[in-house]
Structure 1
């Protein structure tokens, strides 16, 4: 049995923002292995986040981000359950990071249903023409086009985009981690991105 020191608990708490008792518990479970303990906390946190998903989010912030040079800006609404959480540093930082991501990644909508149908039809036409030019058999072209459309949605829909600060995570992953850390349901409600000349 590995002895769990106060320094180990402090280190894990600093790395994850989790409570003291949770840190002690997972360190014991992970037999003092810091990496394993962090993984265990993340899994438990994500499970808690899934439970919180149905709770009402009637508080929050409208966050504005103006990029250097004042030619690009984002207005973003992020909701949470309480006014207290809306004012916390973690929540404000989450809103700022998402707004900066939107400025950089230029999503077309939150989810696939938010992307204009005419854009999707145009993409399908382009994909189909590419497949025909490559000499793909007619019977598999539709399947390939559907696959390419799915990939297109992942690239242009905010919730499935790779997070610009950590491409190993999607925005949905970052949202779930923030819910787990903060302890309240959070929703990215809507956004608008302005760019001079667009």
Structure 2
């Protein structure tokens, strides 16, 4: 019988090892929820090394591009690793392609991670939430809790690494990168990206074109 593991336990193991969420959950299930034994399992599989590699310099890598069908959405993303050897591996190229496609399919994403979001944006989101009618009717202490929760949700929507991976809804983009760090044995970082939408900024864009782009993203 599969042991039921709490999300808090999975989160704790992930913070200790840097391994992906699903890998942590499986390790905990395999060890009946024993954290120490679960860490050993992840180490044996080479999955408990992502956090240790996170501080290592990434001076190599590649720039990947993706043009969606119809040539109306385009993405360029820089993915870095430690050596040219890993940069040439097919697995690294596949990772870069998947991340480029993820960005194309995530119209709200603007930053690599939460740490990249400027404080001015965070303050702006707090002001927006604080001014909503349903908030003003709540007690002060409750207002702060609701605002914090909504702002956190909004910031997660802006962060690439916190998106659910489009090809596997059980993991995030961060988990995907950590799995590849374990696979290839090097630190891997998304440095920057840009997303192009045909007609963006042109005020006379027709409603039918907007609907077409929305349908392309869902496809």
Deviation at 1:134, TM superposition (A): 7.5
Question: Is 1:128 the counterpart of 2:130 in the alignment?
Answer: yes
Q: Which runs of 5+ in 2 are unaligned?
A: 1-29, 32-39, 201-219
Q: Aligned with 1:78: secondary structure? A: strand
Q: What is residue 111 of structure 2 aligned with on the other side? A: 109
- Matches of 1:135 and 1:162, distance apart in 2: 33
Matched, 1:98 2:93: no
Structure 1 residue runs without a partner (length 5+)? 1-28, 31-38
When Rg is computed on C-alpha atoms for both structures, the one with the higher figure is 1
The counterpart of 1:177, out of the listed 157, 160, 179, is: 179
Query: Is 1:56–2:31 an aligned residue pair?
Result: no
Secondary structure, aligned partner of 1:188 = strand
66-75 or 131-140, which deviates more: 131-140
User: Aligned-pair distance for 1:51?
Assistant: 2.0
The aligned runs of 1:23-34 (5 Å cut-off) are none
Backbone CA RMSD of aligned residues: 2.8
Provide the residue aligned with 2:46 in structure 1.
45
* 1:192 is the counterpart of 2:191: no
The structural deviation recorded for 1:147 is 1.5
**Deviation at 1:115?**
3.5
The alignment partner of 2:138 has SS state of coil
Residue 22 of structure 2: aligned partner: none
Contact 1:131 1:141 in 2 (8 A): no
Deviation at 1:129, TM superposition (A): 3.6
Structure 1 distance, partners of 2:76, 2:154, is: 24
Of Structure 1 and Structure 2, the greater strand share is in 1
TM-score by length of 2: 0.66
* Corresponding position of 2:169: 167
* 1:183 CA displacement: 1.3
1:126–1:43 Cα change, 3 Å: farther
Question: 1:73-88, aligned counterparts within 5 Å?
Answer: 73-88=74-89
